[in-house]
Amino acid sequence: MVMEELLLLYACCIPVRGARRSVICDLQRAQVFPVPNSLYDLFDARGRLRLSQLRRSNTDTADRAVLEEYIGFLLREELAFLCSEAEAPRFPRLSREWLYPAVISNCIIDARHTTAHIHADLLEQLAALCCNHIQFRFFETVDRYWLEQLLDLIAQSQVKSVSLLLRAGADADSEGWPDQLLARYLKIQNLTIHGCKASQCIAWARPGQARPVWAVMEVLSALHCGVIAPHYFSPNIPAFTEALHYNSCLNRKLSIDAAGYIRNCPSMPATFGHVDDTRLADAIRQPGFQQYWTLTKDEIAVCRDCEFRYICTDCRAYLEEPDNDRSKPLKCGYDPYTATCQDWSSSLLRQATFGHYQQQTS
């Protein structure tokens, strides 16, 4: 490269500006780099930084040192590369389209004391919606042979992954059962057993993959959802492009609660018919079902000023202001105006709000 006058961000490294600071989301290597807004502002809309021009205009020694530090950082982390003005058009930006071939991307199916609402026809309806990923949450103990029959059906279906939550009890506690399940049903992506005597993670290693089994002490319910935390961040192309255009939590989601009612989200109050008398395909076309699907973080208070808005999971079930469906998630302790973070549950105000949600579901 002859005339090195531009510093160009790699197309997969996308800067996002927040109120106090910015981040560069590296969607290829799944990393997030916090950077000062002053660095963000050096780039134009196409991710180009005019190097020669900036070096000419920043003649002050201190400014120049900062500029050189920025440039060194971007090159060292391989977030940007040097190229000439003439070469720059050869590097188009990444398409912002969200590519996902499914009417429903994934589904959560809950059960408590009965599993009567989970049957072969339901799985067929999900297949017709191209839903390839299912999470089953059994809040109470489940019959071992019934569960194995269900997993046999899934083994022959188009479903690609299954996530399982089981309640500790006779079978789930029995020696080796989780092991047998993982060995026999390769589509099980992860398995959590709740209500155990102790909390621990045991990873089952097998050739080419390791599928974790978690044992947790708590007895879980739908109220445990909605936590916003850095380890839930998804700096990758599918999640980022979805968040640009859709709600990162509710878009194309479906759930069936423990009583058999069809919902967009298991933690939200609205239901759209019962599986006994409503086809899933009809339920998702009912008014209101897709109400939040296109609500992006750009339209949500506080989140719209947050630099993490396109890699973050949203939550519309538990809100900071329960009556304002465009307020920020209750279980997020990050303040983008100060760029500081505290545990969401340490706030008395938030605890009181959560108490309000607990009362609603009890």
> Does residue 208 touch another protein according to CB under 8 A?
no
By CB under 8 A, tell whether 168 contacts another protein.
no
The answer to whether residue 128 forms part of the interface with another protein (CB under 8 A) is yes
**Contact between 224 and another protein per CB under 8 A:** no
Torsion sign, CA atoms 312, 318, 321, 327: positive
Q: Give, as ranges, the residues between 290 and 349 that touch another protein (CB under 8 A).
A: none
| Nearer to another protein (CB atom), residue 101 or residue 288 | 101
Quick one: which H or E segment has residue 313? Answer: none
Q: How far is CA 68 from CA 2, 52, 177, 292, 298, in A?
A: 20, 12, 59, 44, 33
- Tell me how crowded residue 335 is: count the other CB atoms within 10 A of its CB: 16
Nearer to another protein, 2 or 198 (CB): 2
CB of residue 269 to another protein, shortest distance in Å = 30
- Least Å from the CB of residue 246 to another protein: 15
**The only residue of 34, 52, 85, 93 in contact with another protein, by rule CB under 8 A:** 93
The CB-of-79 to another protein minimum distance in angstroms stands at 9
Interaction of residue 237 with another protein, rule CB under 8 A: yes
d(CA 148, CA 160): 17
Q: Which is nearer to another protein, 132 or 251 (CB)?
A: 132
Site for another protein contains 122 (CB under 8 A): no
By the 8 A CB rule, do 128 and 281 touch?
yes
Rg (CA), the chain: 24
Cβ at position 247, least distance to another protein in Å: 20
Q: Residue 49 contacts by C-beta under 8 Å, 6 or more apart in sequence?
A: 6, 7, 8, 42, 43, 80
Structure tokens at 66: 């900062």
Nearest distance, CB of residue 101 and another protein, angstroms: 4
* Residue ranges in 1-40 that form contacts with another protein under rule CB under 8 A: 1, 10-12, 28-29
| In the complex, least distance from residue 8 CB atom to another protein, rounded to whole angstroms | 10
Cβ 107 vs Cβ 138: under 8 Å: no
Among residues 56, 61, 62, 99, which is the contact residue for another protein, using CB under 8 A? 99
User: Closest CB to another protein among 12 and 227?
Assistant: 12
Burial class, 79, CB count within 10 angstroms (exposed 0-12 / middle 13-18 / buried 19+): buried
Pairing state of beta strands 200-206 and 253-256? unpaired
Binding-site member from 38, 53, 57, 95 for another protein (CB under 8 A): 95
- Measured from the CB atom, the residue of 99 and 348 that comes closer to another protein is 99
Q: What is the dihedral of CA 350, 235, 96, 285, to 10 degrees?
A: -50
Tell whether the torsion through CA atoms of 246, 252, 253 and 256 is positive or negative. positive
Instruction: Assess contact for 329 and 226: CB atoms under 8 A.
Output: yes
The verdict on 103 binding another protein (CB under 8 A) reads yes
Helices (H), 77-143: 120-128
Q: Strand 161-167 vs strand 188-194: parallel, antiparallel, or unpaired?
A: parallel
Task: Select the span of 105-113, 127-135, 294-302, 345-353 touching another protein (CB under 8 A).
Answer: 127-135
- Minimum CB separation of residue 128 from another protein in Å reads 6
Binds another protein (CB under 8 A): choice among 4, 68, 69, 78: 78
Among 128-136, 144-152, 180-188, 255-263, which window interacts with another protein (CB under 8 A)?
Answer: 128-136
Site for another protein in 135-154 (CB under 8 A): none
Q: Binding residues for another protein, per CB under 8 A? A: 1, 10-12, 28-29, 78, 81, 89-97, 99, 101-103, 128, 130, 132, 158, 237, 241
